[in-house]
Amino acid sequence: MHVIASSTAVWYAARAGGIVAYVLVSASVLAGIALAGRQRVPGFPRFAVEDVHRFLGILAGIFIAIHVGSIALDTVVPFSLTQLVIPFTASYRPLATGLGVVALELLVAVGITNFFRSRLPYRAWRRVHYLTFAVWLLATGHGILAGTDRDQAWLVTIYAIAVGLVAGASALRFGSAPGGRRVVVSLGVAAGASAAVLGLSSVPQQASRTSSATRAASDSLPKLNGGLSGTIENDGSGVVSIKGTAASGSAFRIDLLTSDGGRVSDSALQMRFPGGVTCEGTLTALDQNGFSGTCKLPGGGSQTVQASWTVSGGTVSGTIETSTGSSSSDA
């Protein structure tokens, strides 16, 4: 029997860790830009900016470790050690995840040179340190193209602000335009960079790679028609999960993000079919009598899921039924 073992904490730790790490890396890049010029930051001595820059880098490394570690523990979208180390080998959105792997490895290289800074020629250390900007660019592409929350306005706003600030600060600090005109140019660059983020966020996400065996399995899934049982978990932070086993050795999981008043603001549906094929999607209806939803298969097809249940305390029990949607070749 296959059970979705990934906990809600692991799933949200991976997402939150990645977002916080990106904000910290962006802030570190901004501090680095301030240090790169000869002009001083008003109100801050140079050593204070250097300390902030160094602290932000260390803090970003901690949250990157949380992000990568949580992904390694997640069993819903499993990654092997090889896929976490060798870029563009992951089956899950290989281009976007590959950008993240390259960014991580460049960041490790920067960290190593920082550790041995006193033993390295200053010019060599400085050139390697400029890779932090490449790390930030790759992380931006990784987050926008791979993130499961990329369609959320709040996350797109974070990326647009971060990119706009870094692009504008770069133009202001390193631009060749004179005086007041440089400010106007930097504002234009910031606005253009933010607009580019909005355009990139609208690009369809790359489909995940699937083996021929997985495609064949997903195209020939049996229709489920039988019982289900599960438990309800509420972590107290607005995330409610309902997960358990279903007909024919399958498993299901529902994650709900609730706002004040108990209203559901976002949902996710996952089905694990016999043989290990995972189907991911969203709910179309949910109440005390059951739920319905649709999910997409690795091979390009889809499944419609309908269930009726009885809720008793922290458990649910009832029946579940699935029907097959269309199937197409994976891009």
DSSP string, 119-153: GS-HHHHHHHHTHHHHHHHHHHHHHHHH-TTTTSH
Torsion of Cα atoms, 324 then 77 then 134 then 186, to 10°: 50
Mean pLDDT value across residues 32-49? 76
- Please give the pLDDT value at position 79: 83
Between these two residues, 202 and 4, which has the higher pLDDT value? 202
Quickly tell me which residue has 């609208």 as its tokens. 202
Between these two residues, 199 and 180, which has the higher pLDDT value? 199
- What's the rounded Cα separation, in Å, for the pair 255 and 224? 21
Quickly tell me which residue has 């730790």 as its tokens. 13
Q: How many residues does the chain have?
A: 331
Mean pLDDT across the chain: 84
Say if strands 290-296 and 225-234 run parallel, antiparallel, or are unpaired.
unpaired
- What's the rounded Cα separation, in Å, for the pair 243 and 222? 21
**Range with the lowest mean pLDDT among 158-162, 188-192, 269-273?**
269-273
Amino acid 132 reads T
Per-residue pLDDT reduced to its tens digit, 155-187: 999 999 999 999 999 998 887 777 778 888 899
- Please give the pLDDT value at position 218: 54
- Please give the pLDDT value at position 1: 26
Using a 10 angstrom Cβ sphere, with 0-12 exposed, 13-18 middle and 19 or more buried, the burial of residue 12 is middle
Give residue 4's pLDDT band: very low, low, confident or very high (50, 70, 90). Answer: very low
Spell out the domain ranges in the chain: 8-201, 212-324
Instruction: Kindly state the tokens that stand for 33.
Output: 């830009």
Please give the DSSP secondary-structure letter assigned to residue 247.
G
Task: Of 225, 236, 221, give the one whose Cα is nearest residue 278.
Answer: 221
- What's the rounded Cα separation, in Å, for the pair 193 and 173? 16
Q: Is the pLDDT of residue 230 over 80?
A: yes
- What's the rounded Cα separation, in Å, for the pair 34 and 40? 8
φ, ψ (nearest 5 deg) of residue 230: -165, 180
Instruction: Kindly state the tokens that stand for 11.
Output: 């799933």
Does the pTM surpass 0.75? The reply is no
- What's the rounded Cα separation, in Å, for the pair 151 and 266? 12
Instruction: Kindly state the tokens that stand for 215.
Output: 């495609």
Q: Is the pLDDT of residue 310 over 60?
A: yes
- What's the rounded Cα separation, in Å, for the pair 154 and 45? 34
Mean pLDDT value across residues 198-214? 71
Give residue 204's pLDDT band: very low, low, confident or very high (50, 70, 90). Answer: confident
Inter-residue contact 163 to 60 (CB < 8 Å) = no
% of the chain beyond a pLDDT of 90? 44
